[in-house]
């Protein structure tokens, strides 16, 4: 359908975005790859020298590496499960007729609008603090010992905070999808005597699959780089219990100021993120076919 | 509403001023969001009146964020700041890299001879002062006199760790929300490791031996960690593994701690009736040591103002540094906010001022603590490093934090003391080898 | 809507939905409430929900201490600037992908998304050096450029999915009538795409407003936005819950209000092509 002229015009219009993104990707990437082969510590200028694969070797043998890898996956998958399941449930609920639906939507959307650092600070201090936090006060009111969230369940606490931030996003996308559900088909199924769960499983869920795919894809991209929440709450600890790959790279490049090592970590993180992405596309990409 | 108007008026004023005074120099000052620095910002009208040609932009950040930002900037020569607020940990390291401007002539009324010698020494490299101390602190033991009385305890002049254990057990009343002792547990080289490194000094231990070999496999660290864990597990507050200075301060101020060993600067906060519920019931004693020991940890920290060598406005920056750290500044604070609130620990004359001694019951103990801090020889053993609650090498930030994570995990019950020590030994050895020690 | 619900069922749904909504909203509500407490009241072991002495003290203190409006202006400029710049670059790109798709369009889209996979902490040092050398440190321009690039993939994708829903026949009809490419975009496409562009704009403003790594690390005094403002209230010495709450409320209020007023537009655009 497209003529040669419009094809050329299309290329022209596409090129600024592509060129800019390509530069944004390749320049830092090239610098990072270069740094990753150097012995390069910002605090000790003048000692830069070629290091070969030393930095990579060192990064992979870091005792925190494997825990960080596992924590990263746990965090991403945990948040995805909570937000997708919770999002579907909320979307189905909010799609029902009720009074004040607009206000409920406003309440539900709110966490998505809060800066990550603010929400981490609020959860850490005002809610989860085992002495002065509200949860501790509630526990005391019930005669229970307060629960020390960040010491006893650091990763789970972070998952909870991040899931709280992303639940609105999932809910809203799924709710929009719900609203285009074919009501006549639903009613026909109901006439045929299909139960609520049958209808949910065989009509609602398939209809939502595309939306769920989008939620998973977009959230994964953002979740792989979750960082502020960890820095503010647990600082990766206790031990390495809540250190993710991103956080490990942070420790190396911003605490040790070991740019060489941090760069190697960054490259490893990019490769792993892309493996996750490819895996994801294989698994759910077919839902995205247009 | 009024706020909006005021801001608008202020903004237009600023515009008018910048338009009028073209000879004005603008400097950017990076500082920590601690109480004394916030006060300094409030007192800026005095500076502006004295130096109308210098405009100051503030960057006020939480300590860890500030440190990371400032270090990134100075190491990559970003040149975003003209005055930096840095600790005595950074000063000698950065001065050796020639990243800081020596501050030799801060003016006639600066009175450099009045600086607390222990503090000044830590900021001097090759005979030159590289940063001007803003306030300084050592560590001490703060305790609740009412709880001690109730338990029939008397604080000895020179408490040792055995006494602390015993006292903690007597005053702990968890049902009433009173915990015998609060100590730092949050991982970080400047958090739990500051306390634990100092405590290890009191036990006669060290971070490294003469050949830069890590000492976590020695008996002193074992004793340090086991005493610490016993104290905290039995008598400490819940959630201790995420408590740093601020969290403990809040706990103490709200009456939840019987004892607290931390920076001397805390004393003025817990004695302030506006912020503290227990202001009239606090006592002070030296940092405990081992039975028969005499090393009190050698904790010495100062927040200092320094000028990066890359600053293009060094003269204006120097004027500002001199204003903020001179004896006149102390007078200014005394006039405006009362003498109890002057930044402590930097000037000998302050501790000879009878007025100050009268309103600051903690002054004497603070002075003793600072004077007894020997940063040149932090450990009783012969060691290749200087410092105190830290080791003054660039690698320490990262190593200290990683070790702190291990000890924090031990406190949270995620690892045993032996596991934590073994992990600390392994990772310290690994990092030191990578960094090329022994050098 | 052909569904019929009994009053009783509607009441139950309402109750459950409101309950869940309030639970989700509660942390924000609690922050706002705490901002009106005194510092001592904020750590009261028996916290009071509404019955405490309300005070504006914290807001006064925060306003005295920091130039909220400077940070606010920076946040607004950066969020708006990067969004507009992003749209200018993304609209033609999305148009071309939607209406002149090539074999690799899908791959191109995925590649764009994958540029978001580089952990920002890993490239801070290189980017910092580039910004330093180009004089963009601590400038709004620098941040606008960086945030535009960071969010560009999301903008392109959103617009692409939106444009795809516009039937191609309309464009062809316009073309038959002799419309040039530019007038085709200006008079035919744009009006139809306005709702999609609006929601893209909104989402991107939210993302840019809340971005807290680059905004914090590439600024000092002049371009520091509200994320830096918050960083000066987290964990100082002494009690800080009430002041932190006040500062937090001030930092999130503008975007919260914007998001609430425009939630219909925002929600419509949030589908990323998930709805057919």
Within 8 A of C130 by CB-CB distance, chain A residues are 27-28
> What does the domain layout of chain C look like in residue ranges?
7-60, 67-232
When CB atoms are compared, the residue of B256, B394, B427 closest to A131 is B256
> What domain range is A120 assigned to?
65-242
Residue for token pair 């398939």: A206
Judgement on whether residues B189 and B73 belong to the same structural domain of the protein: no
Task: Look at residue A146 and tell me if it is in a domain.
Answer: yes
CA distance C180 to chain A (A): 10
CA distance C115 to chain B (A): 24
User: Residues B80-84: what's their mean pLDDT?
Assistant: 95
Q: B401 and A241: CB-CB below 8 Å?
A: no
Calculate ∠ Cα B175-B177-B183, nearest 5°. Answer: 125
Query: A145: which DSSP letter?
Result: P
The whole-angstrom separation of Cα A261 and Cα A247 is 13
User: CA-CA distances (angstroms) from residue B295 to B127, B204, B288, B374, B400?
Assistant: 27, 7, 9, 9, 21
The whole-angstrom separation of Cα B23 and Cα B331 is 30
Question: How does pLDDT run across C173-224, given as a tens digit for each residue?
Answer: 777 777 777 777 777 777 778 888 888 899 999 999 999 899 989 998 889 9
Domain count across chain A: 1
When CB atoms are compared, the residue of A136, A236, A258 closest to B405 is A236
What confidence score (pLDDT) does residue B218 get? 95
User: CA-CA distances (angstroms) from residue A75 to A67, A83, A222, A244, C24?
Assistant: 12, 12, 12, 8, 20
Closest CA to B438 of B383, B388, B389: B383
Q: A240 and B405: CB-CB below 8 Å?
A: yes
Helix, strand, or coil (residue B284): strand
ipTM of the complex: 0.89
How would you label B398-413 residue by residue, b for 16+ Cβ within 10 Å and e otherwise?
Answer: bbbbbbbbbbbbbbbe
CA distance B158 to chain A (A): 31
If you count them, how many residues does chain C have?
276
Task: Look at residue B73 and tell me if it is in a domain.
Answer: yes
Q: Above 80 in pLDDT, residue C245? A: yes
| Domain C67-232 bears CATH identifier 1.10.3720.10 | yes
Judgement on whether residues B282 and B306 belong to the same structural domain of the protein: no
Task: Look at residue A211 and tell me if it is in a domain.
Answer: yes
> Among all residues of chain C, which has the CA nearest to that of B56?
C221
The pairing of strands B128-129 and B124-125 is antiparallel
Task: Look at residue A48 and tell me if it is in a domain.
Answer: no
Mean pLDDT of chain B: 91
Q: C236 and B177: CB-CB below 8 Å?
A: no
The whole-angstrom separation of Cα B222 and Cα B236 is 19
Q: A152 and B186: CB-CB below 8 Å?
A: no
Q: C137 and B80: CB-CB below 8 Å?
A: yes
Q: Do the beta carbons of residue A39 and residue A54 sit within 8 Å?
A: yes
**If phi over 0 gives left and psi between -120 and 50 gives alpha, with beta otherwise, what is residue B248?**
alpha
Within 8 A of B72 by CB-CB distance, chain A residues are 42, 254, 257
* Ranges of chain A with pLDDT below 50: 1, 290
The whole-angstrom separation of Cα B172 and Cα B167 is 9
Q: C238 and B249: CB-CB below 8 Å?
A: yes
Task: Look at residue B168 and tell me if it is in a domain.
Answer: yes
What confidence score (pLDDT) does residue B16 get? 46
C275: confidence class by pLDDT, cuts 50, 70, 90: low
B21: confidence class by pLDDT, cuts 50, 70, 90: very low
What confidence score (pLDDT) does residue A217 get? 87
What confidence score (pLDDT) does residue B7 get? 52
User: Residues B347-373: what's their mean pLDDT?
Assistant: 93
What confidence score (pLDDT) does residue C273 get? 65
**Structure token digits, residue C192:** 């139809």
CA distance C34 to chain A (A): 9
Within 8 A of B177 by CB-CB distance, chain C residues are 45
Question: How does pLDDT run across B388-417, given as a tens digit for each residue?
Answer: 999 999 999 889 999 999 999 999 998 999
Task: Look at residue B372 and tell me if it is in a domain.
Answer: no
Judgement on whether residues B255 and B292 belong to the same structural domain of the protein: yes
The whole-angstrom separation of Cα C219 and Cα B58 is 12
The whole-angstrom separation of Cα B119 and Cα B133 is 7
Residue for token pair 């310290």: B428
Residues of A with CB under 8 A from a CB of B: 41-45, 58, 63, 129-132, 136, 145-146, 148, 150-152, 234-241, 251-252, 254-258
Helix, strand, or coil (residue B84): strand
Judgement on whether residues B44 and B150 belong to the same structural domain of the protein: no
Judgement on whether residues B149 and B213 belong to the same structural domain of the protein: yes
> What domain range is B414 assigned to?
139-299+380-434
Judgement on whether residues B307 and B179 belong to the same structural domain of the protein: no
Question: How does pLDDT run across B296-354, given as a tens digit for each residue?
Answer: 999 999 999 999 998 999 999 999 999 999 999 999 999 998 898 899 999 999 999 99
What confidence score (pLDDT) does residue C269 get? 66
What confidence score (pLDDT) does residue C119 get? 82
B2: confidence class by pLDDT, cuts 50, 70, 90: very low
Q: C2 and A183: CB-CB below 8 Å?
A: yes
What confidence score (pLDDT) does residue B156 get? 94
Query: A126: which DSSP letter?
Result: I
Judgement on whether residues B404 and B255 belong to the same structural domain of the protein: yes
Judgement on whether residues B212 and B65 belong to the same structural domain of the protein: no
What confidence score (pLDDT) does residue C274 get? 64
Q: Do the beta carbons of residue B115 and residue B133 sit within 8 Å?
A: yes
Q: Above 90 in pLDDT, residue C31? A: yes
What confidence score (pLDDT) does residue B26 get? 94
Q: Above 70 in pLDDT, residue B20? A: no
Domain count across chain B: 2
What CATH code is carried by the domain that includes residue B74? 3.40.190.10
When CB atoms are compared, the residue of B28, B35, B244 closest to C220 is B28
When CB atoms are compared, the residue of C128, C132, C221 closest to B59 is C221
Between these two residues, A78 and B14, which has the higher pLDDT value? A78
When CB atoms are compared, the residue of A32, A113, A177 closest to C255 is A113
Q: C121 and A18: CB-CB below 8 Å?
A: no
User: CA-CA distances (angstroms) from residue B371 to B88, B138, B368?
Assistant: 16, 9, 5
Residues 135-154 of C with CB under 8 A from B: 137-138
Judgement on whether residues B169 and B222 belong to the same structural domain of the protein: yes
Query: B347: which DSSP letter?
Result: B
Judgement on whether residues B393 and B355 belong to the same structural domain of the protein: no
For B23-82, the DSSP string reads T-EEEEEEEE--HHHHHHHHTHHHHHHH-TTEEEEEEEE-HHHHHHHHHHHHHTT----S
CA distance C271 to chain A (A): 5
Question: How does pLDDT run across A10-39, given as a tens digit for each residue?
Answer: 888 888 999 999 999 899 999 999 999 999
User: Residues B93-117: what's their mean pLDDT?
Assistant: 91
Between these two residues, B428 and B254, which has the higher pLDDT value? B428
User: CA-CA distances (angstroms) from residue B250 to A114, A235, B38, B257, C176?
Assistant: 26, 20, 18, 10, 74
Q: B touches which chains (3+ CB pairs under 8 A)?
A: A, C
Judgement on whether residues B87 and B217 belong to the same structural domain of the protein: no
What confidence score (pLDDT) does residue A287 get? 67
Q: A232 and C89: CB-CB below 8 Å?
A: no
User: Residues C106-113: what's their mean pLDDT?
Assistant: 84
Within 8 A of C25 by CB-CB distance, chain A residues are 107-108, 110-111
The whole-angstrom separation of Cα B120 and Cα B113 is 9
Q: Express as a percent the part of chain B with pLDDT over 90.
A: 75
Closest CA to B206 of B295, B125, B118, B270: B295
Q: B250 and C238: CB-CB below 8 Å?
A: yes
User: Residues B191-201: what's their mean pLDDT?
Assistant: 96
Task: Look at residue B367 and tell me if it is in a domain.
Answer: no
Helical H segments across chain A, by residue range: 4-36, 54-60, 65-94, 101-109, 116-121, 134-141, 149-152, 154-178, 183-191, 196-199, 205-223, 228-233, 245-250, 259-284
The whole-angstrom separation of Cα B89 and Cα B67 is 11
Mean pLDDT of chain C: 86
Q: Above 70 in pLDDT, residue B12? A: no
What CATH code is carried by the domain that includes residue A154? 1.10.3720.10
**Structure token digits, residue A290:** 């247009």
CA distance A21 to chain B (A): 25
Question: How does pLDDT run across A68-110, given as a tens digit for each residue?
Answer: 999 999 999 999 999 999 999 999 999 888 998 889 988 999 9
B136: confidence class by pLDDT, cuts 50, 70, 90: very high
Q: Above 50 in pLDDT, residue C172? A: yes
Last residue of a domain, one of B330, B359, B388: B359
What confidence score (pLDDT) does residue A285 get? 65
Q: B405 and A238: CB-CB below 8 Å?
A: yes
User: Residues B49-54: what's their mean pLDDT?
Assistant: 95
Between these two residues, C1 and B429, which has the higher pLDDT value? B429
CA distance B217 to chain C (A): 34
């Amino acid at each position: 359908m497209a003529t040669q002229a419009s094809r050329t015009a299309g290329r022209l219009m596409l090129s600024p975005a592509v060129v800019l993104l390509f530069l944004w990707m390749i320049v830092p990437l090239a610098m990072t790859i270069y740094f990753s082969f150097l012995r390069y510590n910002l605090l000790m200028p003048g000692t830069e020298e070629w290091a070969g694969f030393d930095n990579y070797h060192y990064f992979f043998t870091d005792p925190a590496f494997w825990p960080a890898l596992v924590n990263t996956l746990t965090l991403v998958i945990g948040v995805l499960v909570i937000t997708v399941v919770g999002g579907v449930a909320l979307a189905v609920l909010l799609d029902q007729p009720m009074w004040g639906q607009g206000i409920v939507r406003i309440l539900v959307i709110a966490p998505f609008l809060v800066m990550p650092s603010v929400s981490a600070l609020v959860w850490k201090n005002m809610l989860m603090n085992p002495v002065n936090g509200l949860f501790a006060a509630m526990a005391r009111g019930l005669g229970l010992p307060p629960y020390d969230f960040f010491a006893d369940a650091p990763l789970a606490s972070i998952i909870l905070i991040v899931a709280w931030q992303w639940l609105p996003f999932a809910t809203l996308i799924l709710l929009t999808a719900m609203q285009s559900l074919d009501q006549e088909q639903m009613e026909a199924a109901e006439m045929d005597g299909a139960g609520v769960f049958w209808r949910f499983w065989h009509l609602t869920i398939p209809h939502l699959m595309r939306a769920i795919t989008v939620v998973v894809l977009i959230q994964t991209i953002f979740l792989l780089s979750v960082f502020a929440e960890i820095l503010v709450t647990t600082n990766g600890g206790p031990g390495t219990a809540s250190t993710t790959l991103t956080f490990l790279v942070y420790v190396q490049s911003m605490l040790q100021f070991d740019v060489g090592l941090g760069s190697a970590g960054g490259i490893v993180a990019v490769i792993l993120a892309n493996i996750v992405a490819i895996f994801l596309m294989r698994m759910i990409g077919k839902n995205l076919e247009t | 509403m009024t706020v909006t108007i005021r801001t608008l008026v202020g903004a237009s004023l600023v515009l008018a001023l910048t338009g009028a005074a073209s000879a004005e120099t603008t400097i950017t000052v990076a500082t920590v969001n601690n109480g004394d620095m916030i006060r300094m910002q409030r007192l800026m009208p005095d500076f502006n009146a004295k130096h109308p040609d210098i405009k100051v932009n503030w960057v006020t950040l939480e300590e860890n964020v500030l440190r990371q930002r400032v270090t990134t900037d100075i190491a990559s020569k970003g040149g975003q700041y003209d005055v930096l607020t840095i600790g005595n940990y950074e000063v000698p390291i950065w001065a050796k890299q020639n990243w800081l401007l020596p501050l030799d002539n801060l003016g006639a009324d600066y009175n450099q001879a009045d600086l607390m010698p222990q503090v000044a020494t830590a900021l001097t490299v090759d005979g030159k002062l590289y940063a001007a101390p803003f306030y300084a602190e050592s560590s001490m033991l703060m305790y609740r006199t009412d709880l001690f009385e109730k338990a029939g305890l008397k604080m000895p002049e020179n408490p040792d760790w055995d006494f602390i254990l015993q006292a903690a057990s007597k005053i702990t009343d968890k049902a009433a929300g009173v915990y015998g002792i609060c100590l730092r547990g949050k991982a970080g080289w400047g958090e739990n490791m500051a306390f634990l490194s100092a405590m290890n000094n009191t036990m006669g231990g060290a971070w490294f031996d003469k050949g830069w070999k890590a000492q976590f496999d020695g008996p002193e660290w074992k004793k340090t960690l086991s005493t610490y864990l016993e104290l905290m597990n039995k008598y400490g507050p819940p959630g201790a593994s995420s408590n740093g200075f601020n969290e403990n301060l809040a706990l103490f101020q709200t009456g939840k701690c019987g004892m607290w060993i931390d920076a001397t600067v805390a004393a003025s906060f817990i004695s302030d009736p506006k912020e503290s519920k227990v202001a009239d019931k606090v006592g002070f004693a030296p940092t405990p040591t081992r039975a028969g020991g005499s090393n009190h940890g050698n904790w010495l920290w100062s927040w200092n103002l320094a000028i990066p060598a890359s600053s293009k406005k060094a003269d204006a920056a120097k004027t500002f540094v001199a204003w903020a750290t001179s004896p006149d500044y102390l007078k200014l604070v005394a006039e405006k906010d009362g003498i109890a609130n002057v930044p402590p620990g930097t000037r000998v004359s302050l501790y000879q001022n009878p007025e100050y001694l009268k309103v600051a019951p903690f002054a004497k103990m603070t002075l003793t603590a600072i004077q007894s801090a020997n940063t040149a020889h932090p450990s009783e053993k012969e060691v290749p490093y200087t410092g105190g609650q830290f080791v003054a090498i660039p690698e320490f930030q990262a190593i200290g934090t990683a070790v702190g994570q291990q000890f924090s995990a031990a406190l949270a019950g995620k690892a045993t003391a032996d596991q934590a020590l073994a992990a600390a030994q392994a990772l310290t050895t690994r990092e030191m080898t990578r960094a090329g020690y022994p050098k | 809507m052909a569904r019929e619900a009994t009053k009783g069922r509607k009441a139950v749904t309402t109750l459950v939905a409101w309950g869940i909504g309030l639970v989700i909203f509660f942390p924000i509500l609690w922050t706002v409430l705490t901002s009106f407490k005194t510092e001592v009241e904020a750590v009261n072991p028996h916290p009071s929900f509404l019955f405490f002495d309300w005070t504006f003290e914290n807001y006064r203190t925060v306003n005295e201490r920091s130039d909220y409006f400077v940070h606010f202006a920076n946040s607004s400029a950066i969020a708006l600037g990067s969004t507009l710049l992003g749209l200018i670059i993304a609209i033609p790109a999305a148009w071309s992908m939607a209406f002149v798709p090539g074999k690799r369009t899908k791959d191109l889209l995925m590649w764009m998304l994958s540029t978001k996979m580089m952990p920002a902490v890993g490239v801070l040092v290189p980017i910092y050096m580039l910004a330093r050398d180009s004089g963009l440190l601590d400038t709004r321009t620098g941040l606008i450029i960086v945030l535009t690039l960071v969010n560009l993939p999301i903008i392109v994708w959103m617009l692409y999915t939106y444009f795809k829903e516009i039937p191609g026949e309309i464009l062809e009809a316009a073309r038959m009538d002799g419309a040039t490419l530019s007038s085709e975009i200006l008079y035919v496409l744009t009006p139809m795409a306005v709702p999609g562009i609006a929601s893209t704009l909104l989402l991107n403003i939210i993302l840019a407003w809340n971005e807290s790594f680059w905004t914090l690390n590439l600024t000092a005094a002049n371009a520091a936005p509200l994320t830096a403002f918050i960083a000066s209230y987290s964990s100082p010495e002494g009690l800080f819950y009430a002041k932190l709450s006040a500062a937090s409320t001030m930092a999130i209020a503008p975007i919260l209000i914007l998001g609430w007023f425009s939630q219909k537009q925002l929600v419509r655009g949030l589908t990323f092509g998930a709805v057919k």
